[in-house]
Every structure is written in C-alpha cells, then in structure tokens.
Chain A
C-alpha cells in the first residue's frame, strides 16, 4: 500500500492500466521479460523494484511460471473427488512434467478432473477425452450443471433479451440517484462476497466522500474452491452484473466500473468483454447515457492468479499494479480506494441482485428471506451430490432441504462439508439439521456462510490430510504482509506434514497458540479465518485427529 504508487499508477487510470500491461507482457512466455518490467517502471515513473515485486507475486506472472502449458486444478473439491492424480498422469503422457503447473479451482467443482490449457478450461476423466483436448482433435464438451431456483428467481430468472432487460436502465436514470440509493438501502441487500456488509451503506459512504472520480469494482475473483456461482452469473447472466454496476455507479455517483475477473475463468472474461461491447454498440456507455447526463464506462481486468486478490484492498492494489497486499482499514475503500479515490467493491452476486431490486422495489426484496438476511442466495453443490449445480434459495432455507431436496442427497458417503470456502466452517453431517442458510444461523452454529460454496469431504478422506491441505492453501495464498499469517500458516502446514509423514506428534498447546495467534493477530480474514475450519475439525473429529497430537498426561 503506497499512496505514491496509487497516485502514479492512477495518472494513466484504468484505461492505460499498469497491471493489464504487465499481464499482457507475461502472455508470451508466462512471465514478463525484465526489459518489459523495467520499461513499464520507467513509463509509470515508479521503481524497477515495484514492477518486479508485483510480477513475482502472481502465479501466472512469476518467473517460475515460464513455459507452463497445462495447469491442473488443485482446489479442495477436485482434491476430495480424487480425480487429479490420474488426470496428471494422463496429461504427462502428452506434456512434460515441467510444463505442467497448478491452478486453484477452475469452477468445475461439479465435475472435477479440471484443467486449463490453451486459454480454456476443461474437465475430463477418460484418457481419450484428455488426449483429444490436448491434441485439439474432436470437440471439447462444455461443462453442464443444474441451475434451479427453489423459490423467487432474483438471480437465475431467464434473460428476456437485451432491449427488454435494459429498459430498466432508462427508468433508473430518470429517477433521482438518491432515490435509487434509498431503494438499495431498503432492500437490505448484504454483500455476498463473504462479509455480508449492507451494500446501500457502502454506496452511500462512497458517494459522500468528496472526489472528482469514484469507482465501482465488481469483485469477480471468486477464489473459494468449491464456488462457481459467480462464474455462472458472469457467463450466463453477464448483463445482470453489468447493469447492477451501472445502477450502483449511478447511486454512488461513480463514473467507472471495473470488473476484475480471475484468470482461472477465461470464458467469463471474454463473455463479459462481449457484453461490454454490446453495451457500447447500443450507445449505453460514455458521457451522457440516454441523455440523462450520467457518465459511465467499463474496464475489464483479467487477474493473474492469486487468491488474496479476492480481498477487496488487495484487489485494489492489484488493479493499480502494486503488490496485492492487504491494506489497513481505515481508510476504507469507500474513503480512499482505487488510485486513492472513493471506491465501492462488491461481489458479483451482490451486484447481480441490484437490477431485480430496482425493478421490483427494495421492499419486495426485503420481503424475501429472513429479517436480517434478506433476498436469495446462490449455493454451489459439488460432485458428491446426486444433483450437483447451482441453487438459488431464499435466505433462511434449512440446509437439510437444500441437500436432500435440491441436491438429491449425497452420492457417496460423506462425513463433513466445508461450507463457505477455505475459510468457512467444516460442518459435520450430523449438524445439517441445525442450520439454515443465512448469515445468522451459520454464525450462531460456529460456522460461516461466506460465499456459500459446499465442498464435501468423503468418509474415505483423512481429516488430517484435509487440514494439511487447508494450511497448505493458506500458506501458499498468504499475501505475506502480516507476521502471524506469513509465518503461522507455514509453520502450521509444516507441523501437519511432519505429523503425517514422520513420527512427530503436534503439541496441542502450541497448536492452539498458533490458531489463537492467527485468529487474533492477522491483519485480514485470510490468516484470521483459517482457524475456524481447523477448530471445527478438532472439535468434531477429535477421535480421528488425536493420533497426530501429543497426548496430554
């Protein structure tokens, strides 16, 4: 976080964007050439250390990424599904091992066997399928998953076509922006990205910060393994996301919408780019949209592989071409965000709900769901369910009905589910009946709704291995800024690995001290969140885990 770097990057703004130039420079070989980085430093009047420091942060820009051709998914869902070892040996028949890298969660959690090649994602199980994809023979199959709304379909309703859908914009732009803001506040729409902060307040705070420019950022960095609902919205309902951003921009008096999409979703990037193009061709972008005086434009940015970029301040740093490290708060992004300007960052799903709210009224939205968690929520079920897919449910829906009625129950024996991403709780199956799908119920139960992805942990999968995987993920994706997380996630991973591989028993007091340190000491919810699932596991799977710990005498 450097005010100077934010300002210097901001001089060229989002249009002539430093980060984008860096990722472009990395395209040819997988890492930008030193000359390119130095030239960019010179162009932006920043240090050579800055462009180098940024490039080395990202999976798809760092020097080690040079020459990688195929990336295999190593996310939690593919791991639990157990598909990746055989996938890897199949791929190695065609591509040498040093050209194979990893991507964490391609959003194929409903099929698994996921990998990325030639700028596109695939999931395949048979050797022939893999061979045909790698050799570009035969047609690749598009993935398929169920999409169903159990109740109101605020997010999954059929798209009525551009003109009908965008009639709403004309109507909104004829309304006073303050009334639009009020509508969003009345809806009590809470952020779907994990923290559940009321969107209306965020827009209001952004609006109230004095500035010549403001930004709306769509956080499409859906990094939680197991989650692919944002991917669904980006690919299947792109105009809902974009219209939501325009309305948010109108309410917050912002003139720029930046869609930051993870590189692991290449299809989503091109679909959103097409959608922006469509808007432009319909004259709905630019200086004076529909003669309303409202000015708005979009920038689509493709990320470069770093889970922490989903954290909003890291995301802002990322767009600026700084190292995506987490910033301290305050100042909040709505006070000082992208290029030091007021910025509202919202999740894809949050933004996609906005058109419905403006169309049907804030009160109508508020009437859906529970008192404190209004509206609907998309839930992603992985391949352990009989009917994997995306389900739109009213907030407050019992977890049991989601699993049994919508998901059709488990296809294989499952002992627990991790719900809400890697920082979400580990819910043992016996707790299913005590939970409803809303922020409060999960919080009270000692879990976390988060982004509400569901990854099943089968009975056959050792819990200690799952914990090792969580710590490995946490350490690999830690931004490294704060001491507890940078060091603690690594030490946690090392202890678990040692306990699995060697005759080493973990000291319980030390392990709890480590969890406390991460939880209390970390700067952001990455380091601060990892103890939750670990503690859940220790509580509910004590018997299975105790052999790995020193016995107290």
Chain B
C-alpha cells in the first residue's frame, strides 16, 4: 500500500484568524470545531442524518476575499473551501435567523408551558438564542388544529407542533430504512404523513423511535415522553435483548424508570435502537415479576426467605455431591446475565461443585460458530466489526434475518442493500434484506453445506481463488480442492432447489468484490451440519482472501445480548474461562492453582446430554439461570420428562416461566436495569452495564446469588461487584488481560484487550490465531429428520424470530410490544395453503413425529411451496412440541430449522 501524498493543508478564516480545513467538511462542522463557544443555531440538522438545508437558520455570510462581497450560505450543507472568510454571526445573519424564526412561530402553538418538551425543545432553544420577542405578522392560515395521533402503544404525534424540518422523514429513511413517513401536499400545505395518511398503528412503522428522537419539537414523540427534561438523571447502559449491544440512556428517578433514548455518541448505535431496546422496558417492574424466593411444598411453589432457599439448595447440592458424585449435578447459565455472572456460575460448577456439567443457551444457538471458527481460524468469534460495513463492497447474509433478529445491525444491512451495493442473501425465506438484495438464493432448509460447496466450486471454476492468500496463510487446500472438484453441481442444485446460474453469479459477485463480508445467524448453526456450515463460510472467506483487513471477514450475528460473553467466560463443558481446553493437564493445573481447588479435567454434559442423563437417572440436581428450556428448547415433552426425572431443580428467573413451573426452588434474579456488569456484543465489544434502579422486591443480582451459594458451600468468594470480578477475570482469561471496569469508557473495548488496554477491531490480521487457516472439506449430508420422516411428514417447518419479541417472550410479552404482535403464526405459501384448503387467518394443525400444535395461518409468498415458518415467542402455542432432538453432529446445537411436519386445517382443538 502506498500512502497518500501529503496534500498541503488548506485554511479558512474566522475572526481574522486562519484555521485548517478537514477534507470534505461543511462550514458548520468547521465552525463547530474551531469556534465551539459561539454556537451556530440549527433546526433541520441532526447528528446522524445527511445535511438537508430546509431550515436555513444555520446561514452564515461568506466572502472569498478580504472585504469582498459577502454571500449568505447555509453552513450545514456548504463545503468549506480554501480561503473562505466566514462571518457566522454578522448583523445581517442575526437578523435573518430572527426573521426565519418569527415566520416559524406564526405557525406554531404558543403553549410551551404545557408541552412535553418544555425546557428541552430545540425550537424553544433556537428562538431563545436568536431573541424572538414578538410576532409582527397578522394572523393567517396555520396548522394549529391538527389532531393528535394516540393510536400506537409507543409512538405519538401532535403535528400541530411540526415545523417541517423533515428530520423524522429522514430518520425513518436514512437510519431505519422503513420509509413510513413523508411530507404530503406542497408549499404551505406540506404536512407529515404516516403511510398513505394513516395512523402510526396502521402504518408500517416498526417503532424504532428514531423519528421521535430526531424530532426537535414535541410533534413526534412517544408515550414515555422521552423528550421531557424533567428528572433528567440519566444512566448509560447496554440493551439486554440482542447481540448488537446498543447503548441506552435511561432516565429514571430513584425507583422508577421513565424512558430510554439512544446516545448519539454510541459507536454501536449512534442514536438508533429497535423497539425492544428503547421501549420494551416495562417488564422490569411488572406485577408478575418474581419478588421472593419460592420453594415447592406439596406440589405448590410457596414464598420463602432467602435463607430457607439457600439452606435447601446447599444441603441438597452437598448431599448429591457427596452421595452420587459431582457429575450428578449440572448447571445452565444465561446469556442474558453479565460476563461476571457467567464467569461465577461456571466457577461455581467447576470449583465448588466439582463438575464440568456447565453449559449455556449458546448451545442452542451459536455453539457451532464457536466450534467451527475455532477449527478453521483458531478463534470462535467475529473476525471484524460492524463499523466495517462502511468499508465493504459486498455483504453476504446467510441464515439470518437481521431486520427482525438484530434490528440495528439489520437496518445497516438494509441501507447497504437499498443503496444497491452488492448484497447476497442465502435464506429459504424472502427476508426483508432479501427483498432489496441483488442475489437471493432461496435454498431448501438444511442444505447450506451443499450451497456453500457449490459457491466454492464456481469460484474455483472461474479462477477467482486468491492464490497468494491460500498459499501464504492456509493449509489443507489441496485435499479440500479435491473434495470440491468431485462435486456434482447439478446434483447440488437439485438438492438446494436453487438455479445454479444464480448461484454462479452470486459466487462471482462475492469473489470479485474488493472487500466482502459475510454474516451468519442461526439459520447456519441450528442444523445437523451446523459446524460444517460455519467452516464452509470460513473457507469461502479464505479462498477469496477476505480475512484480515477492514470490510471483510466472517461475522456471526450473535443472538442474545451476551451469548458471546457467556462462552468467553467458560460456560461450556469442554472449555473453561478463556476457551482453555480443560482436558489438557497444563490447563487443569492452571485452573487448580487459580481457583485454589482441584477442578475436574473430563468434559461435562452439553445441555441435550443433561436431559438424556436425567432420563437415564444420572442427574440429581440442575440449576438453571435465565433460560426457559421448556418453551424454547426443542422437543418440549422430552424436556419436561427430563426435568421431572431430576430430583432437584433450581430455576433462577425474572418470571414464572414454563420451566420455573417444574422447579423445586425458584430464585428471583435481577434484570439488566437493576445490576451492573459487562455484556460482550457480537463484535467482541465488552461494554458496561450500569445499574439504574434497585432490584424489585427481594430479588438480587444473579451474581450475588451465586456468590451467596458459593460461600455457603464453603468457598470464599467476595461479594459481587463488577470491578472486583473483572479484576479476577482479567487474570485468567487471556484476552481480557487489559480490561478494567474503570477504563471501559462509554463505548467499551473489543477483545482481545492487551495488558496496556489496547483493544482489537480486526482479528487474524497477519496470521490466524491458530497459525495457518485450516481447510477441511465436508460433503452435504441429508439430516436424519428428513431421511426418517420426510415421506410421512412432507413439509419442512423452520423456526425463526420476530422483531417485537425476544426468545420465550417472558420479557417482551410483558410490555407494549404484545399489542403490536399478538401471537405466533404459521407462514405458508399460497399454493400450499390453497392445496390444503387453508385461508389466511385459519387455524392449522401442524403435526410432527413428536407432537402437534394449532396455529393461525399467515399466507405469504415469503416462503416457497413446501416450506413453513413460525416463531416460538408465545407459550400458548408451544411450537417446540414439534421440534426434534436431532442435533449438530459436532456441537450438539439442536436442529430448530428443519422439522418434518404435515398440516391440515383445524378447528383449534389442539391448542395448548
């Protein structure tokens, strides 16, 4: 790479002084940098939007020579150029601003005192700055009689307060990409509309709140009055819902959360969130929150004290440990808990109980990612950062529906695709991104490996292999090549059901982009060939040299907020904190010394093995934190039988979930708003979660509960504090070496973090973590689900997520989100629907070899004939009665994405 020649610095002038110009900056930006104390007022400008130039109050005078003729220009969209002499606050400019504001106020209500944003209104502020005293115009036409829109659970508008700055329209377009809002009419009659002049509720609004945050007045806001400045105590924290890891700014009193906004300076989500992060917080003090421990007495869960609960747990655990052995106990930790809590839970199981029977919900989502990427690269985490989207020429999205599952990142993908930049989507369903992508490869569920092999076949065939990368940085290519060359692409095309020419074109697009980035989700991992698929994605990046710089790489979209962190912290039966292989003697020795006790060195149970062990009478006790295995793990009836077969079940939860109903002891944990710690997002960014309010009732931070039990079982562990825990973690997890609570700052750090605190945005820069990248060929193998049941159960059901709900829905169903999305539905192609006499909205009985459920049909072209799709957010349906216990052969991640079913119209008698 050559460096740019040093272009001589350019200057512009202000107050007779020269200041340097940054390439491409606007006059406004220049003034903000060099004259921050004398603010240039703006109304239509907004931090995350392109310049627009409607309000004109940012105007300044510009001359091109000393004493030359001055021209008035809007500073927000005028580039500053060499030699400009700027007069940002001249007499005529001040007058112009005042005159514009006077015009604005001729069409604005004057009821500031009763307005939500009083004291926090940009119009008010600018009017104050320019010094409006009276309105000289005679009364004329106005829009003061516009009615409020109160139709929506979250979004509110009062367009009589609209100043036509278009910020909402642009936010919905440039940030969310939803295009819900527009101006309508023209001239003085211009007014904001939602959809074709409908209400928020009836529009296509996805309640991201970007418009409300962008609006400078109270014209668009939300039911939480997030723009009022009352009680402006604000705490910055991180969203609890998904692996994007949005920063939130929570406004609260000492015991009540008022509202949430998105900080503009958040690197992850600058001013943006989805409706879960911004609005779905009311669950935290919902009446149904568990507020005391519960103990099962005579089949009934009754309230108990902490001491009673702890005593019972400790005596039971000690009893089983002594009489049956530590491996008769197991723990499931939660990706929704902090890193520190996950670390503690695995430490408890390993060092206090003495077993490696510790696993987490990562098992059921991204365990194949961790395993597959470790095998190929040496590290089981995203190679790059989301920011790299700015530098990439091509994105490939495989088995992920990010606009629903990872909304803020999904919105960024959508912007990429909408702008016509190369986008490839490999997904059975026509996802939102697929609609905008050039290449959508709608493959039959379960055939990812065939598809990716085909792509590599074409890349090799077209001579698009990056030879130098392959030669210098990888091993195993020769054998791999042989495997690929033997492929019968026509057969692969038949298996996947996708036209091979389309696949060829997409392959060429990926391979010939300067920088191509891939992203994958659970549509990759939740298959019998999940780990192999991840390895093929990694291979694809390697043969095209898309590793080790900006804008490339393999980037799993981690599901839950801290699924990355829980694995990092050792919530896995085969690897301890920091991914160290527990079977290695030197590792075992290291842990023994560090924990001060002997820890076992044989691999423990993965979650499905725990259930099998229970059914085999080999499990006495299980402690499950924050995971509704009954509703969300596959094959519900089997999970229930396993819990029933376990003598002693401890469930630590926020709500009485389906799983908690089977508990002997229920412990009330704390939500993310009630405790501190760190979450690690999908790009390895460790961010601070800061407590906003005290835990409700007697509930406690999950970490403290674990510490209490540890101490009572005789292991001295200091009380739970995030700084103390991080101090301990940094000593044992190599890539946390330089992470200190006090140094994480507002935007966190991306691991590995060196001792000196430097973090890492891109992995495998010059060499892979494992040295050379490792090619390994795997052919497509049909899942046993189809082989065994495909004939009798001819449809393939695949499960996924909806934007409004999160996992089992325990949290989101207890917020306004439930008014927006009220139930799980079955998406079915019109052809299949009519073939079975099913109409949109009919109840359908779906039956698999495991069980049957009744569910409402949503007829749509989004799925191809033969494929059905649904969600499992609602316990009323319990879709997982259908799913199987087929697993990924390597990582044991369940195959939620391919379920053989048959369907018929029903009258609803199998509901429940």
Contacts and interface: CB of A to CB of B under 8 A. Distances in A.
A487 B56 contact: no
Interface in B176-233: 177-190, 193-197, 203-204
A82 interface: no
Contact of B164 (A323, A480, A523): A480
A52 interface: yes
Given A50-B179, A53-B182, A482-B54, A477 B204 contact: no
Contact of A483 (B50, B164, B178): B164
Nearest to B51: A328
A3 B164 CA distance: 20
A475 interface: yes
A236 interface: no
Contact of B435 (A2, A45, A328, A516): A45
Interface stretch (B136-144, B369-377, B379-387, B718-726): B136-144
B130 interface: no
B509 to A, nearest CB: 15
B193 A52 contact: yes
A37 B182 CA distance: 14
Contact of A486 (B188, B415, B418): B188
B100 interface: yes
Interface in A1-52: 1-5, 7-8, 10-11, 34, 37-38, 45-52
B730 interface: no
B59 A47 contact: no
Contacts of A45: 418, 435-436
Interface residues of A, number: 60
A4 B177 contact: yes
Contacts of B77: 328
A47 B100 contact: no
Contacts of A5: 173, 179
Nearest to B105: A487
A480 B188 contact: yes
Given A486-B187, A486-B188, A514 B56 contact: no
A2 B179 CA distance: 10
B506 interface: no
Contacts of A513: 95, 99
A484 B104 CA distance: 9
B182 A52 contact: yes
B54 A483 contact: yes
Interface centre among A11, A475, A517 (most CB of B within 10 A): A517
A487 B104 contact: yes
B418 A490 contact: no
A542 interface: no
B72 A480 contact: no
A102 to B, nearest CB: 15
Contacts of A517: 96, 99-100, 103
Nearest to B177: A4
A411 B107 CA distance: 46
A237 to B, nearest CB: 33
A481 interface: yes
A495 interface: yes
Contact of A494 (B140, B190, B194): B140
A49 B181 contact: yes
Contacts of B43: 483
A328 B79 CA distance: 11
B106 interface: yes
Given A2-B173, A521-B100, A480 B193 contact: no
Interface in A89-124: none
Nearest to A306: B186
Nearest to A476: B187
B188 A523 contact: no
Contacts of B74: 328, 523
B857 interface: no
B187 A52 contact: no
A5 B185 CA distance: 18
B107 to A, nearest CB: 6
A47 B138 contact: no
A49 B176 CA distance: 15
A521 B186 contact: no
A20 to B, nearest CB: 20
A483 B189 CA distance: 12
A521 B104 contact: no
A323 B138 contact: no
B418 A53 contact: no
Contacts of A1: 52
B731 interface: no
B96 A510 contact: no
Contact of B185 (A475, A480, A484, A487): A480
Given A4-B419, A483-B54, A520-B92, A49 B193 contact: yes
A34 to B, nearest CB: 6
B418 A323 contact: no
B190 A486 contact: yes
B563 interface: no
Interface in A487-517: 487-491, 494-495, 498, 504, 507, 510, 513-514, 516-517
A47 B196 CA distance: 9
Contacts of A57: 184-186
Interface string A207-231: 0000000000000000000000000
Contact of A47 (B99, B170, B178, B185): B178
A138 interface: no
B184 A48 contact: no
Given A47-B180, A49-B195, A523-B53, A488 B103 contact: yes
B288 to A, nearest CB: 37
A513 B188 CA distance: 19
A4 B179 CA distance: 10
Given A3-B419, A4-B173, A490-B188, A521 B56 contact: yes
B196 A49 contact: yes
Contact of A323 (B55, B95, B183, B203): B183
Interface string B61-100: 0000000000010100101000000000000100110011
Contacts of A46: 179
Contacts of A11: 420
A8 B418 contact: yes
Contacts of A47: 178-182, 195, 204
Contacts of B52: 1, 328
A4 B196 contact: no
B456 to A, nearest CB: 29
Contact of B187 (A50, A479, A521, A522): A479
Interface string A50-72: 11110011000010000000000
A494 B70 CA distance: 31
B195 A516 contact: no
B99 A50 contact: no
A491 B53 contact: no
A84 interface: no
Nearest to A491: B137
B466 interface: no
A267 to B, nearest CB: 26
A478 interface: yes
Contacts of B51: 328
B186 A478 contact: yes
10 closest A-B pairs by CB: A47-B179, A53-B182, A49-B182, A480-B190, A52-B196, A478-B187, A487-B103, A328-B53, A494-B140, A490-B188
Interface of A: 1-5, 7-8, 10-11, 34, 37-38, 45-53, 56-57, 62, 306, 308, 323, 325, 328, 330, 475-484, 486-491, 494-495, 498, 504, 507, 510, 513-514, 516-517, 520-523
27 contacts: A2-B170, A5-B173, A5-B179, A47-B179, A47-B182, A49-B203, A53-B182, A53-B193, A57-B185, A323-B182, A328-B53, A328-B74, A328-B77, A480-B164, A483-B55, A483-B163, A484-B56, A486-B164, A486-B187, A487-B103, A487-B107, A489-B187, A490-B141, A490-B187, A491-B140, A504-B138, A523-B56
Given A4-B419, A490-B140, A521-B100, 6 more contacts: A45-B435, A49-B180, A480-B183, A487-B107, A517-B99, A517-B103
